[in-house]
Chain A
Amino acid sequence: MKTNTFSQLSASVMANAIYAMKNFPVMLINTILAPFGLLIIIFFVSHGTLLNVGILGGFILVMVNNGISIQGDLTHLKNDMKLQDMLVSSPVSPTIYVAGIALSELVFSIPDLIVLSILAVIFIHISAIAALTVAAVMLLTFMFSIALGFFISTISRDVIEGWAFMGLISMVLSTLPPVYYPVTYIPLPFRYLAYISPTTFSAIIAQGSIGFVKFSSSFILLSWAVLIIVSIALIVFAIKRSRWREE
């Protein structure tokens, strides 16, 4: 029998996103609202001056949050449903399965991205080059978040452990980094702590692209380099470390 790769990818997307949203619409509401809470606070605290940076931060955080969600989803499917065991003994490959689940996390991001895009068009007046830059940053951010989430899912043996990891990653990737405001707002030497998180570099590039903060071109280049290296390293690490057939 010929194996249809598109069907296999779609299965992960449907199982992990479409059916979940269809049968439990409250998940959709929760997902949509998640990035807007902080955006609203930033808007009021800054008297509207940080709205455009906040919207960009929203784009980045949607990518981070939905990317690292893969960890909880894969752990749940593997440990509680034994889905991975069922699929190992089937024609689907681990790459297709995980790529499908990663796509499903992107599908979850779509409602947020639509709302944020509307806000961006209204409030940021972004140029085509800046839009492309932000899109590239979002893609890289999603990739390293997915890789990190996937890696954690392969080492967490149960959901409780997974939750603990998730809390830590969420803090490092989405709570601590200056995503909704410029990194320059953090006084030295605390600013150095922000550089621990690759999300900080995503924000720096995005904020620089709309000209809100002027960073030197070498600093922007360095930020790109950090993002690309971290993404590649995490993806390679996740692929090498992941276990499909157990040993």
Chain B
Amino acid sequence: MVRLIVRNLSKNYKDKKDKRSLALKNVSLDLDINGIFTLIGRNGAGKTTFIRIVSTELLPTKGKVYLDGVDVVKNPKEIRNRIAVIPQEAELIPWMTARENIYSYLLWRGLSFKEAKERTIAVISRFKLEKYADKLPRKLSGGTKRKVLVALVISSDAKIIFLDEPTTGLDPISRKELWDVLNELKKEHLVILTTHYLEEAEELSDYIIVLNKGKLVKAGTINDIRNAIGYPYAIKIFNGLNKNIKLKGKIVKKNDGTFQVFSDEITANNLAKKLIKEKVKFSINPTSLEDIFYMLVGDINKGEENEN
């Protein structure tokens, strides 16, 4: 477990005309986390700013951050041998092979030549990158390049890995492959991740924080968030809805004519019984992160709420 304490964290960016834009506003957290910790939010929500401050790349305008017991704003050097970062849009150095990229990164982190070489060989083997190891990045697919970047940070001593949108731009198969890598990775490391893909966050995350316009909207496990919003279940009604069935909860009519009802456990249970009785075709699932996200950050759904 790694403890992350964030107190009143704010960040203002100044442009050339001294115009300020707010990226983070008074974000506070106190969490013991392990596994994969994911930040989700729309573009400009403050995910990258948050990750850059916690990983000591960026100074906040105000506030404190303690990661693994270290004040990262005041004493960044103390945490830097415990963390590793792959920034958004990071690339392998194009004139070096995958192996040379990994080896150089390890040397930059201060490992001896012998240890860097041994670890490079080990991580190439662990990620099954042998046939790509001596190729230049331009000869690698986007997915393999990302895999090499992840391999590169994993091979270090860092126990906390920051990945800023690591799957952006990857095809679905490459993305799934990287998910496998991340699921493997979380056994030994804390992974702090940002993503735009909500199904990815749902699939991978042990802990999620939702940011919107620089503010913390919700934090917790996905179940915590489901319960906190009051709609942990989603019932999708495909056809045959009649007047005998009164819907309770948040109701959303979809473009394809189906209804989606978000409700608590008891309401969902009662509704399911009625739907079975009326022979209405439906499905019932825990509310997806995508739906939660739209409720929290989007236009709070286009549906009508019926609490009667």
Give the nearest-CB partner of B90 in chain A: A82
Given known contacts A23-B96, A89-B85, A245-B59, is B80 in contact with A8 (CB within 8 Å)? no
Q: Once the chains are docked, how many angstroms separate the CA of A90 from the CA of B116?
A: 15
Known contacts A3-B81, A19-B95, A81-B90; A89/B57 CB under 8 A: yes
Q: Hey, which bits of chain A sit against chain B, CB under 8 A?
A: 1-5, 7-8, 10-12, 14-15, 19-20, 23-24, 77, 80-83, 85-92, 97, 245-247
A-B contact pairs, 9 of them (CB 8 A): A2-B110, A3-B110, A7-B107, A7-B113, A10-B107, A15-B100, A24-B95, A90-B84, A247-B59
Q: A82-B89, A86-B90, A89-B162 are in contact. Are A8 and B110 (CB under 8 A)?
A: yes
Q: Say yes or no: A81 contacts B110, CB within 8 Å.
A: no
Q: Which of B52, B76, B109, B116 contacts A92 (CB 8 A)?
A: B109
Asked if B91 CB lies within 8 Å of chain A CBs, one says yes
Question: Which residue on chain A has the smallest CB distance to residue B86?
Answer: A86
Q: Name which residue of chain A comes closest to B56, CB basis.
A: A89
A89 to B156: give the CA distance in the assembly, Å: 12
- Which residues of chain A are within 8 angstroms of B113 by Cβ–Cβ distance? 7, 10
Q: Are B57 and A11 in contact (CB under 8 A)?
A: no
- Determine which of B81, B104, B136 lies in contact with A11 in the assembled complex, contact meaning CB atoms within 8 Å: B104
| Interface of chain B: mostly helix, strand, loop or mixed | loop
Residues on B close to A: CB < 8 A? 52, 55-59, 76-77, 80-81, 83-97, 100, 104-105, 107-113, 116, 136, 156-157, 162
Given contact pairs A23-B136, A88-B57, A245-B57, A11 touches B108 in the complex (Cβ within 8 A): yes
B152 CB to closest chain A CB (Å) equals 9
Contact B93–A246 (Cβ < 8 Å): no
B157 touches A90 (CB 8 A): no
B95 partner residues in chain A, CB cutoff 8 A: 19-20, 23-24
Q: Write out the residue numbers on chain B whose beta carbons fall within 8 Å of the beta carbon of A3.
A: 81, 109-110
In the bound complex, residues from chain B placing their C-beta under 8 Å from that of A20 are 95-96
Asked whether B109 lies within 8 Å of A91 as measured between CB atoms, the reply is: yes
For B111, the chain A residues whose CB sits under 8 A away are: 1, 4, 7
Q: A89-B55, A92-B108 are in contact. Are A1 and B93 (CB under 8 A)?
A: no
* Neighbouring B residues of A247 by C-beta, 8 Å: 58-59
Which residues in A have their C-beta under 8 angstroms from that of B90?
Answer: 81-83, 85-86
A245 touches B97 (CB 8 A): no
* Given A7-B116, A85-B87, A91 contacting B110 (CB threshold 8 A): yes
Q: Given A82-B87, A245-B76, are A14 and B110 also a contact pair (CB < 8 Å)?
A: no
Inter-chain contact B83/A89, CB cutoff 8 Å: yes
Select A91's contact among B57, B80, B96, B104, beta carbons within 8 Å. Answer: B80
Is the pair A7, B110 in contact by a Cβ cutoff of 8 Å?
A: yes
- Check B56–A245 contact: CB distance below 8 A: yes
Residue of A at shortest CB range from B158?
A: A90
Contacts beyond the supplied A86-B84, A86-B86, A86-B90: 6 A-B pairs with Cβ under 8 Å? A4-B110, A20-B96, A24-B95, A83-B93, A90-B109, A92-B110
A14→B104 contact, CB < 8 A:
yes
Interface pair A14/B136, CB less than 8 Å apart: no
Question: What is the bound-complex CA distance between A86 and B101, given in angstroms?
Answer: 12
- Of all chain B residues, which has the CB nearest A5? B110
Distance from B99 Cβ to chain A, minimum over Cβ atoms (Å)? 10
A15 touches B96 (CB 8 A): yes
The listed residue with most B CB atoms (<10 A of its CB), out of A5, A82, A91, is: A91
With contacts A12-B108, A90-B84 taken as known, whether A82 is within 8 angstroms of B58 at the C-beta atoms is: no
Q: Report Cα–Cα, A97/B105, bound state, in Å.
A: 12
Cβ-closest 9 pairs across A and B = A3-B110, A11-B107, A89-B85, A82-B90, A85-B87, A11-B108, A82-B87, A7-B107, A15-B104
Tell me the smallest distance from the CB of B147 to a CB of chain A, in Å.
Answer: 16
CB nearest neighbor in A for B136: A23
Which B residues touch A83, using CB under 8 A? 90, 93
